[in-house]
Structure 1
Amino acid sequence: MRLTPLSGVFGVENAGHSWEALQQAVDRVVAIIQSDPNKDRADRIITRWLKRHLQRLGAEVHLDQLNSLVEDRDMLAENLENLVKKERLEGMLAGRQEGRQEGRQEGEHMKAEQIAHNLINRTEMDDQMIAEIAGLTVDEVSRLRSEVKH
């Protein structure tokens, strides 16, 4: 089966949103273009299409200088590599932010449980009142009260 520039375009389309998979698909389409008898024409058309495709994907890459996939493959590869690095960094930062938020929530919950423990040990308040003061559910206070008794 002979690969055509169109099959290369389908490969890029099906690369999904992974920039690494996209880079591999672009490498394959460049190889297809290089072996095509109408190499220059295919290169111009697919390069224009790829620039529009990357814009549709929301890629923040600077491709104004990209005129030929074959000749400017290194520039495109560098842009895609920078996108991968940026995406990973954003993912790490979002993960850290999410972790900090979960940690704060867990800390607040532990503090509420400590308040409930103190109220259980020092007062004759019922579980409903302790739950309202500590910001816990009545079930959580009841569980804490049973732990105190043991």
Structure 2
Amino acid sequence: MSWNLLDVFGFIFDVVELLSSNSGSGARFHSKSDLKSLNYDEKPQKKDSKRSQYFTEKLSVIFIAVAALSFFMVFKDPLPEENYIQTIVVASIIGLGIAFLLFFILHVMELYYFKNLFKLLLFSSSVIAFCISVVLCIYFKSGIFI
């Protein structure tokens, strides 16, 4: 007697379905009104957002302004001559990694949603520039690494 693997899985699924449909004191069939009252067939309602119409643009402008100020603080004095290009590349990669981690966290929290491509690009580029400028500012202005 040879057992087919799919027949075994089919038998297991039939047993699980039989046990799950007759669990408890008796099978209870739900009407459409019961399902509506329990919200099984409806998507959960999202909370209404109280953010202003231009919240993303305002936040992006703030990030760009802080990034510009940080870049100015870093590049107003000449950089040390020793491997400064390598240092800038490494700091940029670290800032990019931090920005992508922030984007992932926002995506998991379902806050990384934009209605058009312009808002997505503006916000993403401003956050990337901000993260890179903060890493560069910490590296060059703190004096710990030099």
TM-score normalised by the chain length of structure 2: 0.29
Of structures 1 and 2, the one scoring higher in RCO (CA 8 A, sep 6+) is 2
Rg bigger for which structure? 1
Structure number having the greater helix percentage: 1
